[in-house]
Structure 1
Amino acid sequence: MELLVAFLNTGSAAAGTDVLVDPVGWRIWAAERGLTTEADLDQVRMVRDALRAAVGDPNGRGLGEGLGSPVRIELRGGAPVLAATDAVGAVLAAAARIAVLDQWDRVKICPAEDCGWAFFDRSRNRSRTWCSMRVCGNREKARNWRERARGGADRPLVLP
């Protein structure tokens, strides 16, 4: 799950960064996770965009039809596991594991306008909304409170 979330967060609109702009950055990202990469960056970006759209990113482009990477099933320690030959395959294998475990709806995109960070909802009832309550959630709750407070000040006082 951490691999999938990290892959979904390889681009940050808020910070103006994108690991998938430069082949060197992509190779470094993959190497930091013990993965290799042979994939074309355009295909990698399309996989990321399709996965982001699949988990609810309103800005994601669901162009995932036919995208993929070789993944195979191997026996390791007496149990079948999904194995990949490269970084994109490893990400897709991680996504498949999450889906098979019926936890796909736990992968979410923060709805804050200036965030869009992907996160895994570990709450018991799968109700977490924000990537961080201390940052995005707190900011949104404070904004809502200010709007409610401001709305009350604009209304005339009516006495019974």
Structure 2
Amino acid sequence: MSEYEDAGNDPADQVVAFLNTLDVEGVVDRLATTSEYADWSGRPQTDRDLEVARSLRDHLRALAAGEPPPEDPLRVPIEVTVDAGARLSGAGVVGEVAAAAARLAIEGRLGRVKICPADDCRWAFYDRSKNHSRQWCSMEVCGNRAKVRNHRERSAST
């Protein structure tokens, strides 16, 4: 089973798994080459698929980090199927991730997909806190580092 297939059925988990194809701390980019993208997704990919995937990831990571998106607009076709209920879908991994992001937006949950603000981390996570105020991917790691850093800065200035 591929890393993408392990993401589960929650659209938030699919989007987060896709965003975390870029691991800043581990210096790993699962979208560095077409073969790496194919390995991560568990599906054959073309150079064009890789280009569109990188663009979607850049747009969604900027959105999750509260930054302006890249200037070039990205268009990814998604479909709405209405039978027993409405369902969004798209072709390939990029279409599926775009449909998952659209579903989150419709449900008012896309803003809960966030990027850790630690410059040496930048890991994507889904904020499951009640008041939607989670800031760090992990309070034990990145949150603690920030608290220690702030404490040292305050102590040094006194």
Alignment TM-score, normalising by the size of structure 1? 0.82
SS class of match (2:119): coil
Residues 54 and 62, structure 1, Cα contact 8 Å, conserved in 2: no
Residue type at the aligned position of 2:145: R
Show the counterpart of 2:25: 14
Match for 1:114 among 120, 129, 132?
Answer: 120
Q: Secondary structure at the match of 2:76?
A: coil
Give the number of aligned pairs.
146
Q: Tell me the distance in 1 between the aligned counterparts of 2:38 and 2:82.
A: 28
Query: Percent identity of the aligned residues?
Result: 42
Letter in 2 for 1:11: L
* 1:50-65 superposed matches below 5 A: 50-56=59-65, 58=67, 61-63=69-71, 65=73
| Change in 2 beyond 3 A, CA 1:86/1:37 | farther
Deviation at 1:129, TM superposition (A): 0.6
Taking a change above 3 Å as real, the CA distance of residues 36 and 96 of structure 1, as seen in their structure-2 partners, is farther
Distance change >3 Å, CA 4–CA 81, structure 1 → 2: same
2: CA distance between counterparts of 1:28 and 1:63?
29
Aligned equivalent of 2:79 = 72
Which deviates further from its counterpart, 116-125 or 37-46?
37-46
Find the aligned partners of 1:148 and 1:105 in 2 and give their Cα distance.
32
Gap regions ≥5 residues in structure 2: 1-11
Amino acid at match of 1:130: W
Q: CA RMSD in A?
A: 1.9
SS at match of 2:114: strand
Q: Would the alpha carbon gap of residues 7 and 44 (structure 1) be closer, same or farther in structure 2, given more than 3 Å must change? A: same
- Corresponding letter in the other structure for 1:70: P
Task: Supply the AA of the counterpart residue of 1:120.
Answer: Y
1:64–1:92: structure 2 CA closer, same or farther, 3 Å change rule?
Answer: farther
Q: Kindly tell me: are residues 61 and 17 of structure 1, through their superposed partners in 2, closer, same or farther at Cα, counting changes over 3 Å?
A: farther
Gaps of 5+ in 1: 153-160
Tell me which of 75, 92, 97 is aligned to 1:86.
92
Structure-1 separation of matches of 2:44 and 2:76 = 13
Larger-Rg structure: 1
Indicate yes or no: 2:150 matched with 1:144: yes
Aligned equivalents of 2:77, 2:51: Cα separation in 1: 17
Deviation at 1:140, TM superposition (A): 0.5
How big is the shift at 1:70? Answer: 2.9
